[in-house]
Structure 1
């Protein structure tokens, strides 16, 4: 008679295995983020990280599955393996720091050779990930070998273990995405996961002292398992991960795309897989024929995956932005609701296939079967994740990709065919298959891009990284990413050029210019007005580069044809990190602060890296969209820049009445602003023949203030380890939409400009030391003019008095003599004030 474990023992092991799953997903989330800092936040880098992590899991399942059957006390081995995960995970800190230091030198040896670059990244990621991942892969076969005591309980107990571990993974993903990094920092969250594994390992070792040893019948030779079951295990892993990749992309079209929304979608998917394992556990307890149940699961999977595009379109109102006017809590609830309705039932069915296979594999050593199953399924998952992101999305798109994966599940029914099948089983199987094929073949077309009224789609591509479109509206065209993020357009020619030309006014001879972000290419193209020796541009999305080249040629000043220009389809931070090249000006484009990964360019580590890449007298320019940040986020970024640059000045990018942008300009060596340089650079870039005092006066109206005022000194610092912007900005975004907070627009912006100048008046500003009193007044005149335009737009009666203040601050030569109102003369080739 087989001796079984006590219920208390089983419950304790279940809790430990759930905690182990939570730790594994915390590691995975943090590893993807950490290697994104090293390799860049690209789809290729993320895919490489996931592929290597899954490779480790597959290797661990295969290796430990082979040896588990020879162990008398596999629970003790499980405890040591968990302790080993904790130990090897700690080594991440040493290895990662070493690679961050060595990576530029290693890249210098092989840079420019894509195969060698990929090999280098794989070597780095493998060193960091594989030791821990291999050990993680061994946990299920070792635990299964200990827990499963009867030959006919593999299906029931194995699916239960799989459900608990995956449920723990869902909790870990949720914690790592929503709470731990902002509570503990990434290092603290990582150490917490290490602590979880250590607790699991030590507890297992303690329980193993009194646990029942494995009985002899559990150590019998491996029973031959039909090849068709391994084919289904591989193909289900392939299709499930491909579907998950495509679902994630579909949600990117309707979400804020912050760390929170990504974590929520991942959590719901893992929860569905856990419920699927629970469903398999229930089915394993029935007397139904296993091949009939598996046939039903595969056909149901095919049907629900194929139906997902229509369901998603219905739930999102045709790819409409989710959340309405809800605050952050309401927004998370709405995203969770749609994610559950879209993925929970399909994901549960997909998640039932793998653990139900255990019912048909009973008879051999549990650990060996579980280990091999994990190895085969995870190998399929590696190829599925890569195929979903780099084959299906670019070649057929999201919706057809889902229908193809539905077809994969339907075709797998054929793998269950056996010569011994009766006619009833054959007819039922092929009738179900035919019905699913008809369903797949009859799918109507669905839109992949959402257009607003009076918009025309000029070009569209579902790339490996994002959906990218070129859209026309009236006389202008612009690039849009994932339906709701506009990267700029021809209608904003003047302000986009200003993003380059205003900072270039402050440098006497900008020979080497680096652009962090391309967008339409208008801003980078404006850099050629300064006649530099070299322009380097790094753009995260390759499709954006293609569309900018194809559709914005007339607006980019020959950017794509100039031999001085080099454009890299890479993450901008990685471009700076991997090369020792230095620059006179590094200009960071406008970025949406709440998007996942964007916070990496607002950290102290990034600013220190950028400072190390500046030539003497060089400057780093961080553009900030005041219509997308609150004062809190702006002050965090400003104080963070101050940690890397002894001098940080602030410049307006426009004199709009409302939606303004400003530049934080950081220099390693403080130096007073030279009015002669302003005039010379304005003349060089625009061809103006006006006097120096006129040109310098025009430029000085864009000067907003100096961070040396101490206005931002109490703000916290944004770091890679404590990513405040990445976690605070999404909440602010929803608070503004709900009417509970404000961006730095309108009166908020005007108050900010005033506070900045009052904290360090122009007369005391060391950056303005070379200016005359009249010239210093122009900084305040620019702020007054911007506020006047806002009041005039809002029909505020105070506008008249404010205009008189502006005239008092502005010398006559800085006014337009042809205007009866004597308004400011901003004009010129690129320095326009913009329309109201």
Structure 2
């Protein structure tokens, strides 16, 4: 090729660029002759290499996906981990590409070198888990406690975490330059096809790897198995590549033929090299601003889950792959690649701007999707397909053009005399730009411009790059004649059109790309609705990790993270809401379960009400609340006086940090740790519900320290709840379980494993107002919310067959989104307390609260409502008229009990009414027996004045009443005998609900009588005679699991739990002196 003169180089001339003409020969005749000798075997080289690079890309994105979850355990938030992994992944690849481009020109067997690098990546992948496990233990236990400050600790965490994945990232970066340069040496006449093909293959494999790792490998093999499998795959690629290298790599003659241009070629114009290197870097930065921005925006539409993130990542990478594929077949026929590249850059910016109106419309699409799909496994598959489609519509167009640009940047330089070193140079510049884009987006662009504004700014950068490339090409055309002059006119028209299109796109993106703030806060991926009672958006801002919103109406405020409500507080003019019951209980239990809770740590700010409640007592001296998103704390100020102490009390200290990092660095031990993070299906949150986390938390509790843990029963499943509780009980053997409303559970556990004790501490101060508001103003009301202890968890785990949830086997992260979509319910533990049969009385030696305590039913608290229902049912049966409570709170019983009273009067005269009577009496049993002690049930079941003697003497009625009476008395022997007598009656004689209850009563009777071994036989004998979906079938499975686990009710060994006891000081004395011990485990 013609070399530029010294004068032309000084002037920055690019007159010899490829733009003016297309007649320049690609390679010399010697190379063509040598290539012909390779024969037909050479034709198979490129397809084999593409397959290898598909597999390499597949494993590479497995690493990225898995590393995000590993490093999330170090950095705390999934967004932080994803950001760091993106930065180091791309940065490491930049370094690797640069090294390969500098060193590779002197190496003769590039594909063999590629094979060695792949093998090294594989070995590192196999060793990654044991290295990480040793690292995280050493850092948390040995290093962080000695760090002088939070800044030093964070710097060390980020740098050390980066160092874990940097070596593999560097090696991953070297793979493309090595393989592409090796293939170009073998097929120099097909540079464009080789480059485009390899970009496509690698991107396609990456997209498949992102999906396979999340939806198949991680659920099946966990993090250790998945990262090791990726390593094995790399070693397989290395073996195959080594064989390919023997066929392709050439020493001697052909290396000499190719060397002058292919290896040590010289750029015609240094200005072109600098301009394209800078352009590739800026384009890479813009692309990753898009990726992060789209992920943050689409989290509001698709939900913040590991599934949605990988779908978005796959959509982005697939766009890159298709763009590369487009270039692959066209690159060698493009006459003016510099102009072509300018168009691609402008169109990428235009597509990014137009993605904003698409995003704004996607809320309505998701609303329609949620309304159209069933809540089932197949429905979830369609939901994920629809989510992927939305992600594709938003991300694919711009990503497609991004996939075109990198091969084009490289091709322009190769066409203009650049040697194979420019491949690594451009690749390194592009990935370096990606680092700048990731860091700049998180730390500069989002705080200054917001997520949407950052995407607009990145789009303008891409458009500016395109215009700059047009100008560069224009200079080349103007320097030529003939065809060059025609190209100049065409280039000017193209540049004008591109700028006009960009201006229209900018207008559309900024004007029509503004989604409704209410839609952003609606959580449409959960609710299926955008507009919720037309609330006001009081706060909406993009934080570094998430978008925080506050929706307000006349009587309620809701604070949400990425559209997922984290807390709601009603105004004081109306009754307390569900979340208030939970947050006040979380604040009360530390004061009740620890004799002197001076130091309290709270994980998660939420609304601030838990911190506010704790500070209502004078006992705590320091309350440290750890929150990872500063905007959450800022937004929660909207709740005003109802959370004021969290902000104003000098004992309250806020820490913006990850919980694990804070506790490890702080080194302080606490009397109580309260954990109330977001729902564990949210990406990154599930790591606060693992065995490793509970072991870690126990290390930061004092000897008599107490852990208080929130857990939801909605949008989950019994198996998922059981795996989290299994993790908890493995580290904390003594646990008390409370229900706070209709769906939330709160667990209390003691660090030293000793039996839990309760203390009614200084609760007459400011906290009294919160307690009264949620009906927790006495020990009796608190006891009413207790379900049971650790034995319930052991049986629950046995029944579900799960293993303890682990950091390295994040089942909840992967199955939680499915349960959320299907609106699953893990209500078995709640059902044990509310099914109406004395299950907990026989298994846990519990005695229900007596009517003499005068406990008023508290709305929205299940156990309290059922206690009120039982009291109203007893009054209804005693008075012969409907109690008003039932009419307002239990419509089913409001219909069933008057019908039962009426049917009982005519039953003796019309035996055909027996079925109707049995349906009513089953409803009465469900509403009374398990909710009141024997003395309060005497008049209903053992001396029933409401049942005429004639009816009571009927054999079927007498058997049924005897069984229910025995259950009401908690008489095990009589329960078993009477219930079996009822089961022996003809199936058609009684309602299915009666038979269902009788089998459970018989099983409980066997346990109470010390014959637990007979339970399984009873269930096998009689369960097939019941209807297929009997209401109490899950409870019976639980009872069998209780027996299989070897658990036995030892009421004699449980102080205050004796079934024979009918009175206790705690029954009547609801308010004790400060510090007085009261028996929450018993009446």
TM-score (norm. length: structure 1) = 0.88
Aligned counterpart, 2:427: 374
Match runs of 1:598-617 below 5 Å: 598-617=685-704
Please tell me whether residue 528 in structure 1 is matched to residue 615 in structure 2: yes
Q: Find the partner of 1:488 among 544, 568, 571.
A: 568
CA gap of 1:173–1:763, structure 2 versus 1, over 3 A, is: closer
Assess if the C-alpha contact under 8 Å between 1:159 and 1:358 holds in 2. no
What whole-Å deviation, never above 9, does each CA across 1:390-413 have from its counterpart, x for those lacking one?
A: 333332233333322222222112
Cα distance in 1, alignment partners of residues 777 and 453 from structure 2: 60
Cα distance in 2, alignment partners of residues 329 and 824 from structure 1: 55
- Secondary structure of the residue that 2:515 maps to in structure 1? coil
CA gap of 1:695–1:593, structure 2 versus 1, over 3 A, is: same
Aligned counterpart, 1:263: 310
Please tell me whether residue 328 in structure 1 is matched to residue 380 in structure 2: yes
Assess if the C-alpha contact under 8 Å between 1:754 and 1:783 holds in 2. no
TM-score (norm. length: structure 2) = 0.69
Cα distance in 2, alignment partners of residues 504 and 604 from structure 1: 25
Cα distance in 1, alignment partners of residues 622 and 713 from structure 2: 30
Cα distance in 1, alignment partners of residues 668 and 61 from structure 2: 37
- Secondary structure of the residue that 1:505 maps to in structure 2? helix
CA gap of 1:790–1:294, structure 2 versus 1, over 3 A, is: farther
- Secondary structure of the residue that 1:621 maps to in structure 2? strand
Match runs of 1:451-462 below 5 Å: 451=519, 452-462=532-542
What whole-Å deviation, never above 9, does each CA across 1:13-57 have from its counterpart, x for those lacking one?
A: 221111111111111111111111012115344323322222211
- Secondary structure of the residue that 1:222 maps to in structure 2? coil
- Secondary structure of the residue that 2:646 maps to in structure 1? coil
CA gap of 1:393–1:290, structure 2 versus 1, over 3 A, is: same
Match runs of 1:645-660 below 5 Å: 645-654=732-741, 659-660=742-743
How far apart are 1:79 and its partner, in Å?
A: 0.8
Match runs of 1:416-427 below 5 Å: 416=469, 417-418=471-472, 419-421=475-477, 422-427=488-493
Assess if the C-alpha contact under 8 Å between 1:298 and 1:410 holds in 2. yes
- Secondary structure of the residue that 2:735 maps to in structure 1? strand
Cα distance in 2, alignment partners of residues 381 and 249 from structure 1: 17
Assess if the C-alpha contact under 8 Å between 2:704 and 2:752 holds in 1. yes
Match runs of 1:248-647 below 5 Å: 248-317=295-364, 320=367, 323-324=370-371, 325-326=373-374, 327-362=379-414, 367-416=420-469, 417-418=471-472, 419-421=475-477, 422-441=488-507, 443-444=510-511, 446-447=514-515, 449-451=517-519, 452-491=532-571, 492=577, 493-530=580-617, 531-548=619-636, 550-589=637-676, 591-647=678-734
CA gap of 1:707–1:489, structure 2 versus 1, over 3 A, is: same
Aligned counterpart, 2:1015: none
Assess if the C-alpha contact under 8 Å between 2:93 and 2:171 holds in 1. yes
How far apart are 1:65 and its partner, in Å?
A: 1.0
CA gap of 1:16–1:435, structure 2 versus 1, over 3 A, is: closer
Cα distance in 2, alignment partners of residues 786 and 61 from structure 1: 71
Cα distance in 1, alignment partners of residues 366 and 334 from structure 2: 44
Assess if the C-alpha contact under 8 Å between 1:757 and 1:780 holds in 2. no
Assess if the C-alpha contact under 8 Å between 2:76 and 2:684 holds in 1. no
Assess if the C-alpha contact under 8 Å between 1:462 and 1:468 holds in 2. yes
What whole-Å deviation, never above 9, does each CA across 1:173-209 have from its counterpart, x for those lacking one?
A: 1112111111111100010001011111122223323
Cα distance in 2, alignment partners of residues 499 and 235 from structure 1: 50
Cα distance in 2, alignment partners of residues 787 and 223 from structure 1: 88
Assess if the C-alpha contact under 8 Å between 2:677 and 2:685 holds in 1. no
How far apart are 1:162 and its partner, in Å?
A: 1.1
Q: Find the partner of 2:182 among 138, 143, 146.
A: 146
Cα distance in 2, alignment partners of residues 501 and 668 from structure 1: 18
Stretches of structure 1 lacking an aligned partner (at least 5 in a row): 737-741, 813-822, 829-836
| Greater Rg by CA | 2
Aligned counterpart, 1:793: 889
Match runs of 1:63-212 below 5 Å: 63-104=99-140, 105-114=142-151, 116-149=152-185, 150-212=187-249
CA gap of 1:686–1:341, structure 2 versus 1, over 3 A, is: closer
Assess if the C-alpha contact under 8 Å between 1:167 and 1:270 holds in 2. yes
Cα distance in 2, alignment partners of residues 694 and 595 from structure 1: 34
Cα distance in 2, alignment partners of residues 277 and 582 from structure 1: 55
- Secondary structure of the residue that 1:179 maps to in structure 2? helix
Q: Find the partner of 2:839 among 744, 758, 764.
A: 758
Q: Find the partner of 2:278 among 231, 246, 256.
A: 231
Assess if the C-alpha contact under 8 Å between 2:681 and 2:813 holds in 1. yes
What whole-Å deviation, never above 9, does each CA across 1:770-808 have from its counterpart, x for those lacking one?
A: x99999x99997584277689963511278646655884
- Secondary structure of the residue that 2:616 maps to in structure 1? helix
Relative contact order higher in (CA < 8 Å, ≥ 6 apart): 1
More displaced 10-residue stretch of structure 1: 578-587 or 73-82: 578-587
Assess if the C-alpha contact under 8 Å between 2:582 and 2:740 holds in 1. yes
* Alignment RMSD: 3.4
Q: Find the partner of 2:49 among 13, 21, 26.
A: 13
More displaced 10-residue stretch of structure 1: 801-810 or 663-672: 801-810
CA gap of 1:487–1:280, structure 2 versus 1, over 3 A, is: farther
- Secondary structure of the residue that 1:210 maps to in structure 2? helix
Assess if the C-alpha contact under 8 Å between 1:625 and 1:660 holds in 2. yes
Aligned counterpart, 2:933: 809
Cα distance in 1, alignment partners of residues 176 and 420 from structure 2: 8
- Secondary structure of the residue that 2:548 maps to in structure 1? strand
Cα distance in 1, alignment partners of residues 544 and 366 from structure 2: 19
